[in-house]
């Protein structure tokens, strides 16, 4: 996943996992996770893993002298409120 995909997942998909439940697809079939405590717990773990991956991507981008999506958002926020 790239930075944009992870940011979208963190802002839209992961929060939705708790509220609506979700399906995990494997080569052996699907696991249906209903809304509730299990969905909430799994979504929290997924969120933590994605945040960790996003930080890694941002560190690599900064090391390469590139702007990240967060950098761009901060610049726009500063310039345009």
Domain map of the chain by residue range?
3-80
Instruction: State the pLDDT at residue 38.
Output: 96
* Three-class HEC string of the chain: CCHHHHHHHHHHHHHHHHHHCEEEEECCEEEEECCCHHHHHHHHHHHHHHHHHHHHHHHHHHHCCCCCHHHHHHHHHHHHC
pLDDT in tens, 22-80: 999 999 999 999 999 999 999 999 999 999 999 999 888 888 888 777 777 777 778 88
């Amino acid at each position: 996943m790239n930075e944009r995909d992870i940011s979208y997942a963190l802002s839209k998909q992961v929060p939705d996992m708790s509220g609506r439940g979700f399906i995990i697809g494997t080569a052996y079939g699907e696991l249906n996770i209903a809304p509730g405590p299990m969905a909430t717990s799994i979504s929290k773990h997924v969120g933590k893993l994605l945040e960790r991956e996003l930080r890694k991507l941002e560190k690599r981008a900064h090391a390469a002298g590139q702007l990240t999506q967060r950098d761009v958002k901060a610049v726009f926020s500063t310039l345009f409120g």
